[in-house]
Structure formats: structure tokens, C-alpha cells
Amino acid sequence: MSIPVRMSAGALVWRPAHPGAKSDLEVLLVHRTRHDDWTVPKGTVERGETRPAAAVREVEEETGVLSRLGVPLLELEYEFAAGRLKNVAYWAARPLSGDADSYVPNREIDAVAWVPLEKAGKRVSYDTDRAVIDTFLERVGAGSHRTRTLIVVRHAAARPRRRWRKDALSRPLTAEGKRESHSLRPLLAAYGVHHVHASGALRCVQTVVPYADSAGRPITVDHRLDEPRDGGPAKNRPLFEAMAEDVALKRPVAVCGHRTVIPRMLASVGVDAASVSADPLAPAGLVVVHHRRGEVHATEHHAPH
């Protein structure tokens, strides 16, 4: 008989201790009323929710701080009650808005505090939280906690090519594809996507429209990302140049492309598509690439629910 596992997610939110600080950091911790403990914010993934979205939601609910995810830290599984396991995925995260100092205590969380990173391991109550903090400290030591985020998205389910007699670039999403595009919104929001790019195909643009509209971001269309059979470039150079421009952006960027082109898109930024998935992505699936100064420090593979 298998033991049930509760899927959870959390984030270690960090910031410079003062303006201009590079190594002097502090992290956000919470004190739980019922358990009388200090811990890293985390919580249970709700039905139909992705873990990245759950991590951001839980941090905001427990601290009043809206954050965006950065590099993943680690995944822990442990027994939290007799015969019950919890699996928690953690990310490093940066605050976007909200003020922990004005958080109103409640029955679940009665205190929120920014704690110097070097003291955080002693403040938390559990070894699991210390493992999260130690992993982040390793990232800081390696300089890989300050990464940039590039998200490569495969367009959602589209009308079959063999049944489409009009211009190839005008082939739209199906009803299922439109539902998939809407489910991408909280996933892209979890990483604080600022720039939204897509190939010139309508199906790619439609995939990112729900997020772009909700976030108030324009969509940049780039025909260098089109499929060769739809008139896109057959050679790598134009596509690689387009991806290099995305990599150079300081704020998180999501770029939507095609199944046949995505392996080259990933290769252009130093990611082996075969190491992510065999397909490489299901419709509306995405690869999150965390990079810094030309080096990839982590990748994630997610699909919307």
C-alpha cells in the first residue's frame, strides 16, 4: 500500500539588506501560531494549481509580499504526520510588492520578519528549513542566486494543419488550446514575466494573449521564430540572433514557439532539449531557463493544469 504524499511548494524570498548591497542579504521567515515555530513560507498545492504558482500564492498569503520566482533550490520529502508524507519544492524569490512590516497577524501566522541570511539558519526551527537556507547560501557563494529568467513556451493545441486550407500563419488554437492558454497565466505570473514574445503564427500569439492582457504587457511578434515550412528561416543564424536578444533582456521574458523549432531555441541558449523531455514539450508546456552571464544555472519543465 502506497503512502499518500501531500504536494507543497514554498520560496525563500531574499533582498539586499540595504541599497547597493551585493553580499549582505536578508530573507523572509514566518512564525506559525499553532506550532510556535519559525519557518520558510510554504503551503499545499491546490487542485488544478502548478507548484510555482502555489509557491508565490503561499508566500503572499503568509507574508503579504508578492514575489517572483528565481532559481529553484531543492525538493524535500519527509513525514509530517504518522503515515503521511509531504513533498515540498522550494525556489529562491525576489519581492515585487507588498510590505511584510505591515502584515497583520492572524490565527495561522502571528509574525513575519526579514532576517539576516547569516542568522536565518539559527532562527528556523527545523532541519528541513536549514537545508533550504544552506542551499541558497551555496547559490550565493557561487554567484548563481542572481539569475535572469527566460521561458520557452510551446504554443497550445491548435487546429490540425491537414485540415487548415488558409494561410498557415493564421491557423488558430482549438477550444482546448484556448483553455490551455488561460491556464498559463498564473504560471507565467509566478516568474514575473515582463517581456512577452511570440513567433508570427497566430497560434503562438493566442497562447500568450491571456497572460499579456492580464499583466498589461505588449506582445512582440518575431518572424525569425516561425517554422521553416511556414516561411520561417531554415538556417539557425536568424533564430539564434532572436534568442540572443531575449537572453540579453534583464527582466524575465517568455517566448512562444513551435514544437519543431523549440529544440533549436533551447540549443541557442545552451540547453539540450533532450535533457528536458523526449518530445520536447507538450502543448502549452514550457521550459524555464535560469541563466547568468552566458551560463545556464538551472532549468525547469512545467505544464499548465
27-61 tens-digit pLDDT:
999 999 999 999 999 999 999 999 999 999 999 99
Which of the four pLDDT bands, split at 50, 70 and 90, describes residue 175? very high
Q: Is the pLDDT of residue 22 over 90?
A: no
**Contact, 15 vs 29, CB < 8 A?**
no
Query: How does 42-74 read in b/e, with b if 16+ C-beta sit within 10 Å?
Result: bbebeeebbbbbbbbbbbbebbbbbbbbbbbbe
- % of the chain beyond a pLDDT of 70: 96
**Nearest-CA neighbor of 257 among 218, 215, 228?**
228
In terms of DSSP H, where are the helices of 216-261? 236-248
Assess whether pLDDT exceeds 80 at residue 1.
Answer: no
Residue 67 pLDDT exceeds 80: yes
Q: Supply the pLDDT for residue 84.
A: 82
**Percent of the chain having pLDDT more than 90?**
88
- Across all residues in the chain, what is the average pLDDT? 94
pLDDT band at 18; cut points 50, 70, 90: confident
Residue 197 has pLDDT above 90, yes or no: yes
Give the C-alpha separation, 123 to 146, whole Å. Answer: 24
CATH (residue range 148-302)? 3.40.50.1240
pLDDT digits (tens, 9 = 90+) for 271-294: 976 666 555 689 999 999 999 999
Domain ranges for the chain: 5-142, 148-302
Reported confidence tier of residue 83, pLDDT bands at 50, 70, 90: confident
Residue 20 — pLDDT band, cuts 50, 70, 90? confident
- The reply to whether 148-302 shares the fold of 5-142 is no
| Residues 210-228: b if buried by 16+ CB within 10 A, e if exposed | bbbeeeebebeebebbbbe
Q: What sign for the dihedral angle of Cα 291, 184, 46, 303?
A: negative
Question: Domain 5-142 maps to which CATH number in 3.40.50.1820, 3.40.50.460, 3.90.79.10, 3.90.440.10?
Answer: 3.90.79.10
pLDDT tens readout for residues 136-157: 999 999 999 999 999 999 999 9
270 φ, ψ (degrees, to nearest 5): 90, 20
Q: What are 200-249's pLDDT values in tens digits? A: 999 999 999 999 999 999 999 999 999 999 999 999 999 999 999 999 99
Q: Strand order in 286-292's β-sheet?
A: 219-221, 195-198, 253-257, 148-154, 286-292, 295-302
pLDDT at residue 128 greater than cutoff 70:
yes
